[in-house]
């Protein structure tokens, strides 16, 4: 009796394995025969660009997408061979906008149809290695909670790091984290500085599909300190805008252009952008926007070639839509002006009034979050 049921089990497992193999090989062939694959998506917005994304069928690792190949003709552009390696790499893959999704949280906003009332979606760019930062954010300013009776939700955006077993190990880390926290969107592309715009666009595409009804978004890095309590107060106080009208606010930057110094992290040669000026934009450490504006930016992005500097690219999309970014005094991505070196730059009193500051270490975030919530915190009028 036991033996025969064991035999049955073995036969059954074998059958399932064979079936899986058939399915796997079948899927592998899809990219070659599928006319809608995005191997070379035209950056100027061909028809395939506007085609809705193929459903991901809920599977965690969706390999039905073809790999996007290099555009070899960029090598003919004048001066190409003297460009730094990462710039050449950028140009080779600039047209690639679709990558397989490795981790998804389709229910973050309740799914496409029955949207949960998310008031503020925290959208945080985080590369796989930044585990400590994510852990601290989950416990502090990015905690999912009801604030003033309104929902704050959190999502991390990630690509992949390294190759071979290093890459697999880090993917596993994110998988485990996501199983516990349900807060990671991950795509299979190299999570490098020059791919941050790609990450942004992939998120906007996801949002357009899965989270259109969220009211507002905080879009930022994982090394910021965000006073999300104040953020909700501010967004709630907006007159006749509940996310359905334009809002794009942060640390406003104007009258600047591409840095032409090859050694700079932000180096953008004429081969990437000829014009010497950037439109107004908000520093990418963190900015607030309405869901309305996020969707507009996504639409615009479909016809604007990728610029590797993600915050400037947002400015370009806004400009094309005839909209503009605005300054919010509480967003200090360039840091806080602390009056003297004699005072503690991490005095919670400075941070009670702001909504966002850039460049905090995990332990500083942890201390500050608890500091500003001390019930007996006593402050003078420090910031005025």
Ligand X SMILES: *[C@@H]1O[C@H](CO)[C@@H](O)[C@H](O)[C@H]1NC(C)=O
User: Which residues bind to ligand X, rule: CB under 6 A?
Assistant: 40, 42-43, 71-77, 86, 89-90, 93, 95, 162-163, 189-190, 192, 194-195
Q: Is residue 246 classed as helix, strand or coil in its secondary structure?
A: coil
Closest separation between CB of residue 253 and ligand X, Å?
23
Closest separation between CB of residue 110 and ligand X, Å?
31
Closest separation between CB of residue 26 and ligand X, Å?
25
Closest separation between CB of residue 198 and ligand X, Å?
6
Between residues 75 and 270, which has the closer beta carbon with respect to ligand X?
75
Between residues 77 and 349, which has the closer beta carbon with respect to ligand X?
77
With vertex at residue 155, the alpha carbon angle to CA 356 and CA 152, rounded to the nearest 5 degrees, is 65
The rounded distance, in Å, linking the Cα atoms of 282 and 286 is 8
The rounded distance, in Å, linking the Cα atoms of 197 and 306 is 7
The DSSP string of 53-75 is PPP-TT-SS---SPPPPP-GGGG
Between residues 163 and 384, which has the closer beta carbon with respect to ligand X?
163
Between residues 93 and 281, which has the closer beta carbon with respect to ligand X?
93
Closest separation between CB of residue 96 and ligand X, Å?
6
Between residues 89 and 326, which has the closer beta carbon with respect to ligand X?
89
| Residue of 136, 167, 171, 170 lying closest to 154 (CA atoms) | 136
Q: Is residue 261 classed as helix, strand or coil in its secondary structure?
A: coil
Closest separation between CB of residue 92 and ligand X, Å?
7
Between residues 71 and 115, which has the closer beta carbon with respect to ligand X?
71
DSSP-derived pairing of the beta strands 356-358 and 286-290: unpaired
Structure tokens at 353: 């009034």
Between residues 71 and 182, which has the closer beta carbon with respect to ligand X?
71
User: Which residues of the chain form beta strands (DSSP E)?
Assistant: 101-103, 118-125, 145-147, 150-160, 184-190, 216-221, 224-226, 248-250, 252-253, 281-282, 286-290, 326-327, 331-332, 356-358
Closest separation between CB of residue 85 and ligand X, Å?
7
Task: Give the CA radius of gyration of the chain.
Answer: 23
Structure tokens at 245: 């009208």
Closest separation between CB of residue 71 and ligand X, Å?
4
Structure tokens at 373: 């919530």
| Residue of 335, 294, 292 lying closest to 314 (CA atoms) | 294
Between residues 32 and 73, which has the closer beta carbon with respect to ligand X?
73
Half-sphere exposure (CA, 13 Å, Cβ side) for 42?
A: 9
């Amino acid at each position: 009796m036991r033996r025969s049921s064991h035999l049955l089990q073995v036969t059954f497992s074998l059958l399932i394995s064979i079936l899986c193999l058939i399915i796997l090989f079948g899927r592998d062939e899809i990219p070659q025969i599928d006319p809608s694959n995005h191997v070379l998506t035209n950056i100027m917005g061909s028809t395939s660009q506007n085609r809705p994304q193929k459903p991901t069928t809920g599977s965690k690792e969706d390999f039905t997408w073809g790999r996007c190949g290099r555009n070899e003709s960029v090598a003919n552009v004048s001066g190409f061979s003297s460009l730094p390696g990462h710039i050449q790499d950028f140009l080779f893959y600039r047209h690639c906008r679709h990558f397989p999704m490795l981790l998804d949280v389709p229910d973050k906003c309740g799914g496409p149809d029955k949207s949960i009332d998310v008031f503020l979606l925290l959208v945080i760019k985080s590369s796989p290695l930044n585990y400590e930062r994510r852990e601290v954010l989950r416990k502090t300013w990015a905690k999912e909670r009801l604030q003033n009776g309104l929902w704050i939700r959190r999502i991390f955006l990630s690509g992949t790091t390294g190759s071979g077993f290093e890459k697999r190990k880090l993917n596993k880390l994110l998988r485990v984290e996501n199983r516990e926290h349900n807060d990671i969107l991950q795509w299979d592309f190299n999570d490098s500085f020059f791919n941050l715009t790609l990450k942004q666009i992939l998120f906007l595409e996801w949002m357009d599909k899965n989270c259109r009804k969220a009211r507002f978004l905080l879009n930022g890095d994982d090394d910021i300190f965000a006073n999300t309590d104040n953020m909700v107060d501010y967004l709630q106080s907006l007159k006749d805008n509940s996310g359905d009208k334009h809002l794009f606010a942060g640390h406003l930057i104007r009258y600047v252009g591409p840095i032409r110094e090859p050694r700079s992290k932000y180096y953008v040669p004429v081969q990437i952008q000829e014009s010497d000026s950037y439109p107004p934009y908000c520093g990418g450490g963190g900015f607030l926007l309405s869901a309305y504006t996020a969707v507009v930016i996504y639409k615009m992005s479909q016809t604007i070639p990728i610029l590797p500097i993600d915050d400037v690219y947002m400015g370009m999309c806004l400009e094309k839509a005839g909209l503009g970014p605005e300054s919010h005094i509480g967003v200090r991505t360039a840091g806080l002006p602390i009056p003297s070196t004699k005072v503690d730059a991490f005095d919670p009193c400075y941070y009670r009034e702001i909504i966002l500051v850039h460049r905090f270490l995990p332990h500083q975030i942890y201390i500050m979050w608890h500091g500003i919530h001390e019930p007996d915190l006593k402050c003078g009028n420090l910031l005025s």
